[in-house]
Amino acid sequence: MSKYWSELVRGLVPYVPGEQPKVKNLIKLNTNENPYPPSPKVTQAINSFDKNRLRLYPDPDSDILKQALADSYGVSKSQVFVGNGSDEILALAFMAFFKQASPILFPDISYSFYPVYCNLFEIKYQQLPLNEHYEIVLEDYASDNGGIIFPNPNAPTGRVLGLEQLRSLLQRNTESVLIVDEAYIDFGGESAIALVAEFPNLLVVQTFSKSRSLAGSRVGFAIGAEDLIEGLERVKNSFNSYPLDMLAVVAAVAALEDQAYFKQTQQKIIASRDWLDGELQGLGFEVLPSTANFIFARHPAHDAAQLFAALRQRKILVRYFSSARIDQFMRISIGTQQECEALVTALKDILA
């Protein structure tokens, strides 16, 4: 604590990202990265970009990327916002839409950055419990609120809601913004982008970090009604004019254009997820049904923290959360098929 810190800083409890270990040869299944590299077209695009242009500021609006996203998702460019990862977009959206008189609502088990944003921006919030199956109960979100946010599929559970459930929530909740955080949507869920034309208060946030294998490039995007995008632009242009550097834009556009590669890696991850789900159940784990690139599993006879530590000893890193209700689960990112097999072998050894 320093006497120079503002009161605000004193009260912060910052987000703790999953570990980025500097140890080599780890099987890294802890931060939901894609086990496959980005499209070869990304490498080509970065290599052929004239680095001398880096002396210039980027286009503050990243128009090329916005247009590519608009074309890809069948919306207009004015319905697209881009930012430095979906985390930055969420931060700006909390300021733009969630600083309201009533508290915002999100699940008790969810992305742990949401309460952090609320503390930073002095936003009241209420966490609504998942049910005993770890599902979001949308009926609970009917009260007066300053906004609603949840990941879909939810993290770290991996459970997904369908479009008809979201539509029904939006029909009831017309006075505040609903943000659907679709970081993991490309692994089997249906995107709420399909509902944007119907609902002026729906903002869908996605990222290039997972399904496009570009976590290292920091690119996220949001799609919603023009009014909402304009609100985000106002906050962004009061915070940082150029959050996307030139090479991040080049990488994202190239990744978006290679749909064939995208589908191929997506299908491989889904196949490995389904295989791993079956294997873990075979070992006695309870596995929540996942539509994401990770699975959330617990074993009735083995403590999760001990399993986590035993895996780490075997150089396999998964994610463990010590929070209430989920402290007996491990969140396991889907690796290559080979990595998933190594995990199963290690677990068999540990459980034996």
Q: Report d(CA 307, CA 350) in Å as an integer.
A: 8
Question: Out of 112, 168, 200, 310, which residue is the one contacting its own copies (CB under 8 A)?
Answer: 200
Give whichever of 77 and 99 is closer to its own copies, judged by the CB atom: 99
Kindly tell me which of 69 and 91 has the beta carbon lying closer to its own copies: 91
25 is a site residue for its own copies (CB under 8 A): no
Under rule CB under 8 A, residue 238 binds its own copies: yes
Retrieve residue 126's tokens: 């209420």
Per-residue binder mask for its own copies (CB under 8 A), 30-59, x = binder: -x-xxxxxx---xx--xx---xxxxxxxxx
Mapped onto helix, strand or coil, the DSSP state of residue 271 is helix
Q: Can you tell me the distance from the alpha carbon of 315 to that of 338, in angstroms, rounded to the nearest whole number?
A: 14
> Closest CB to its own copies among 209 and 291?
209
Query: Binders of its own copies among 85-104, rule CB under 8 A?
Result: 85, 87-88, 91, 95-100
Give CA separation, 33 vs 106, 269, 334, in Å: 24, 11, 8
Instruction: Considering only CA atoms, give the Rg of the chain.
Output: 20
Residues 154-183 within binding reach of its own copies (CB under 8 A): 175-177
Of 160 and 244, nearer to its own copies (C-beta) is 244
Contact segment (CB under 8 A) with its own copies among 65-73, 186-194, 235-243, 304-312 equals 235-243
Question: CA–CA distance from 182 to each of 54, 189, 290 (Å)?
Answer: 32, 9, 14
Q: In sequence order, what are the residues at sequence separation of 6 or more whose Cβ sits closer than 8 angstroms to the Cβ of residue 50? A: none
Which is closer to its own copies, CB of 82 or CB of 214? Answer: 214
Q: Give min distance, CB of 14 to its own copies, in A.
A: 3
Spatial separation of the C-alpha atoms in residues 348 and 282, rounded to whole Å: 10
Distance CA 72, CA 82 (A): 14
* Residue 46 CA to its chain's centroid (Å): 25
C-alpha to C-alpha distance for 208 and 120, rounded to whole angstroms: 25
Decide: is 143 part of the binding site for its own copies (CB under 8 A): no
Q: Given the complex with its own copies, which of 33 and 182 has the nearer CB atom?
A: 33
| Closer of 247 and 305 to its own copies (Cβ) | 247
Q: How far is the CB of 352 from its own copies (least distance, A)?
A: 32
CB 75 within 8 A of CB 193: yes
175-203: b (≥16 Cβ within 10 Å) or e: ebbbbbbbbbbbbbbbbbbebbeebebbb
Say whether residue 217 binds its own copies (CB under 8 A).
yes
| Least distance from its own copies to the Cβ atom of residue 221, Å | 15
| Minimum gap (Å) between residue 232 Cβ and its own copies | 9
Region binding its own copies by CB under 8 A among candidate stretches 3-11, 66-74, 308-316, 325-333:
3-11
The reply on whether position 296 binds its own copies by CB under 8 A is no
Distance between CA atoms of 126 and 345, rounded to whole angstroms? 41
Residue 266, both tokens: 């997506």
**Distance set, CA 178 to CA 46, 202, 301 (Å):** 36, 5, 39
| 209 touching its own copies, by CB under 8 A | yes
By CB under 8 A, is residue 218 in contact with its own copies?
yes
Give the residue with the Cβ less far from its own copies, 247 or 351.
Answer: 247
Stretch that binds its own copies, among 2-10, 157-165, 275-283, 293-301 (CB under 8 A): 2-10
Asked if 198 is part of the footprint of its own copies (rule: CB under 8 A), the reply reads no
CA nearest 289: which of 188, 205, 207?
A: 188
In angstroms, the CA 119 to CA 198 distance is 32
The correct pick among 245, 257, 258, 341 for binding its own copies (CB under 8 A) is 245
Closest CA to 117 of 30, 8, 218: 8
Name which position in 74, 129, 162, 216 contacts its own copies (CB under 8 A): 216
- Which of residues 130, 136, 244, 311 is near its own copies by CB under 8 A? 244
